[in-house]
Amino acid sequence: MTQGPLLCLVEDDPIMGESLCDRFELEGFRHEWHRTAQGALASIGNRPYAVVVSDIRLPDLAGDEMFGRLLERRIPLPPFVFITGFGSIDRAVQLLKMGAADYITKPFDIEQMVEKIRTLARQQRPGSREGSSLGVSQAMRRIEEILPRIAKHAGTLLITGESGVGKERVALEFDRLARDSEKCPFVAVNCGAITESLFEAELFGHEKGAFTGAVRSKKGFFEQAHCGTLFLDEIGEMPLAMQVKLLRAIQERRVVRVGGEAPIAVDLRLICATNRDLKKQVEEGRFREDLYYRINVIQLRIPALRERKEDILWLARTLLDEISLQHGGTRRALSARAEQALLEYPWPGNVRELRHCIERACIVSPGDVLEPADFFEDDSVVPPGQSTTGDLASYLQECERSYIVRALTDHGWQILHTAESLGISRKSLWEKMKKLEIREA
């Protein structure tokens, strides 16, 4: 038996079901055919399906209701492709808002259907872009590609970027790739939150009685990170006097506690991060040149969110799923106008600000589909967009535009891959983008 992707088919029509199963076998797909929604509900979540293909009209339970029940379980779900007649397109659009991957209308082109399924199944495999942990933009994919090599060979890393871009997230990924055991510690320190008088004691530790209030000996951050990773965030805020001692500790891999005499050996990986221009600080005499070159062996710059807009909707959906799971709420979706607003906003606070906006929207919105006003208190941020109270043609056009933008974003605005995922030619995609005035932000 072929070991191709395992598909779940939910179809009550015996002729349609048998025809699709025959085609799946020819294409090298394994498949399980359920003729009722209840049968599918019992299997989905317990079987390693790559894709679920389901009719909306089923004898015991509508496809959209089946999908809703699965979402309530809050379990990882494979991509869903729904089959619908023209009269049920509005229900299919609602399913997209709920999180379905795609829908096709009867009568459909079997070749295009197979390509959709193949593309979705391919994206579920480890290493695919959909499995990204940092982003889908070219810049973040590049960082994700080189991190394993850096983590394997580098003991020191400098991460730069504006506040809120996700420097600690990259540091955690570096640590995950570099660690030999789950027991290896990851110690994060915000240098901007430590008062100058306490810097040495916090980093290197202190002995009992070393100063007023030192009622017991304490390990510093260097000792706590022994055999693991020490992450010094906002290292540009460190006082000059402390920079000398830090440089010595890095070079000698030993520290001496405040009030102590015996050196303590430390073996760790060091990650430094800053939102400042350290080279400029060196020129201005506010950061030691020797320390700068010691920590700047390998540097990764994390672009601002406004420089990698392909990541905005990907991050928004990821955060929506995380927040829904944490609070046990229903899964939220973004309206077309909300997506437009998120893409057009400059995000001065970067990913941190986006997370706050997502959390706000989940709290203030009474519905499952989020609108621009749920994210932003300032009405001037909300784009006018198209009215959802117009005729059906306008509504469907807005839905089509939103769906194409989402597909382009998920595939890094690569036209060929996006067209393949949509089951259309590159020429057709270009024509639709021109008609719908879709341009990369």
In DSSP notation, 170-211 reads HHHHHHHHH-SSTTS-EEEEEGGGS-GGGHHHHHHEE-TTSS
Domain boundaries, the chain: 6-125, 138-302, 307-435
Q: How far apart are the first and last CA of the chain?
A: 46
Burial 67-83 (b: 16+ CB within 10 A, else e): bbebbeeeeebbbbbbb
Give yes or no for a cis peptide into 107 (omega within 30° of 0).
Answer: yes
Task: Give the integer Cα–Cα distance in Å for 259 and 291.
Answer: 25
Same fold, 6-125 and 307-435: no
**pTM of this prediction?**
0.61
Residue 264 has pLDDT above 80, yes or no: yes
Q: Which residues contact 174 (CB under 8 A, 6 or more apart)?
A: 147, 150, 151, 157, 229, 269, 271
**Percent of the chain residues past pLDDT 70, beyond the cut:** 89
Express each pLDDT in 345-388 by its tens digit: 999 999 999 999 999 898 888 887 888 889 987 655 555 444 44
Nearest by Cα to 306 from 171, 438, 161: 161
Most confident of 80-89, 90-99, 363-372, 396-405: 363-372
CB 104 within 8 A of CB 54: no
Q: Which residue has the higher pLDDT, 135 or 166?
A: 166
- The C-alpha atoms of residue 336 and residue 406 are separated, in whole angstroms, by 10
Q: Does domain 138-302 have CATH number 3.40.50.10860?
A: no
Domain covering 6-125 assigned CATH 3.40.50.2300 in the classification: yes
- The domain defined by 307-435 folds into Helicase, Ruva Protein; domain 3 (1.10.8)
> What does the pLDDT read at residue 378?
66
Mapped onto helix, strand or coil, the DSSP state of residue 54 is: strand
148 alpha carbon, distance to own chain's centre: 18
